[in-house]
A and B are shown apart, each in its own frame.
Chain A
Amino acid sequence: MSKRKTERLLGLVVCLLSTRRYLSADQIRAAVPGYPEQDDLFKRMFERDKEDLRELGVPLETGLNHPFDDDPGYRIRQQAYELPELRLEADEAAVLGLAARVWRRAELAGAAAGALLKLRAAGIDAASLDGTDEDPSVQGIEPRLGTPEPAFGPLWEAVRDRRPVTFSYRGAGRSEPQRRELEPWGVVNRHGRWYVAGRDRGRDATRVFRLDRIAGPVKFCGPAGSVTVPDGTDVRELVSDWDSVPAAERTAVLRVRTGAGVGLRRHAVSVRADDTEQGWDLLTTHFTDVGWFADNTAWFGPDVVVLDPPDLREAVIRRLKGVLA
Chain B
Amino acid sequence: MTASVTSTERLQRLLALVPYVVSRKSVGLAETASAFGVTERELVDDLNLLWCVELRAPDPYCPIDLSYEGGEIVVSQAESMGRPLRLAVDEASALLVALRMLAEVPGQKDRSAMSRLIAKLEAAAGEAASASAQVAVQVDISDEGAEAYAAQIRAAVTAGRRLHLRYYVPGRDEATERDVDPMRLHIVEGRPYLEGWCLRAEAMRLFRLDRVLSLEVLDVPSSPPEQAQPVDVDQGLFRPTPDDVSVVLELSVAGRWVAEYYPCESVSDLEDGRLRVVLRTPATGWVRRLALRLGEDGRVVSPPSLVAEVREGATAALANYVVLGNPVLATLRIVT
Residues in A lying within 8 Å of B, measured CB to CB:
1-3, 5-7, 9-11, 13-15, 17-18, 27, 30-33, 52, 55-59, 78, 80-84, 86, 88-89, 91-92, 94-96, 98-100, 102-105, 108-109, 111-112, 114-115, 117-123, 126, 136-137, 139-146, 156, 159-160, 172-176, 185-193, 212, 229, 235-236, 240, 253, 255, 260-263, 266, 276, 282, 284, 295-296, 298-303, 305, 307-308, 313, 317-325
- B332 and A253 contacting across the interface, CB-CB below 8 Å: yes
- B173 and A120 contacting across the interface, CB-CB below 8 Å: no
B contact residues around A139 at 8 Å (CB): 154, 157-158
With contacts A10-B11, A84-B124, A95-B99 taken as known, whether A140 is within 8 angstroms of B153 at the C-beta atoms is yes
- B113 and A261 contacting across the interface, CB-CB below 8 Å: no
Instruction: List the A residue with the shortest CB-CB distance to B318.
Output: A320
- In the complex, which residues 123-176 of chain B have their Cβ closer than 8 Å to any Cβ of chain A? 123-124, 126, 128, 131, 133-140, 142, 153-154, 157-158, 168, 170, 173-175
- B8 and A52 contacting across the interface, CB-CB below 8 Å: yes
Q: How far is the CA of A305 from the CA of B80 in the complex (A)?
A: 77
Instruction: List the B residue with the shortest CB-CB distance to A229.
Output: B134
Question: Closest approach, in angstroms, between the C-beta of A196 and any C-beta of chain B?
Answer: 10
- B102 and A189 contacting across the interface, CB-CB below 8 Å: no
**Residue B190 CB within 8 A of the other chain:** yes
Question: Closest approach, in angstroms, between the C-beta of A16 and any C-beta of chain B?
Answer: 9
- In the complex, which residues 1-45 of chain B have their Cβ closer than 8 Å to any Cβ of chain A? 2-20, 23-24, 35-36
Q: How far is the CA of A108 from the CA of B230 in the complex (A)?
A: 24
Q: How far is the CA of A305 from the CA of B323 in the complex (A)?
A: 11
- A318 and B138 contacting across the interface, CB-CB below 8 Å: no
- A121 and B19 contacting across the interface, CB-CB below 8 Å: yes
The one of B2, B55, B175 in contact with A11, judged by C-beta atoms closer than 8 angstroms, is B55
Instruction: List the B residue with the shortest CB-CB distance to A107.
Output: B94
Question: Closest approach, in angstroms, between the C-beta of A32 and any C-beta of chain B?
Answer: 7
Question: Closest approach, in angstroms, between the C-beta of A221 and any C-beta of chain B?
Answer: 19
With contacts A56-B12, A84-B124 taken as known, whether A137 is within 8 angstroms of B113 at the C-beta atoms is yes
Chain B count of residues within 8 A CB distance of the other chain: 135
B contact residues around A187 at 8 Å (CB): 134-136
A contact residues around B220 at 8 Å (CB): none
Known contacts A140-B157, A262-B174, A301-B288, then 16 further A-B pairs from the complex at CB < 8 Å, ordered by chain A residue: A10-B11, A99-B102, A99-B117, A100-B95, A111-B93, A117-B13, A117-B16, A121-B20, A141-B187, A142-B184, A143-B105, A189-B101, A305-B317, A305-B324, A317-B321, A321-B314
- A108 and B187 contacting across the interface, CB-CB below 8 Å: no
- B101 and A83 contacting across the interface, CB-CB below 8 Å: no
A contact residues around B53 at 8 Å (CB): 7, 10-11, 14
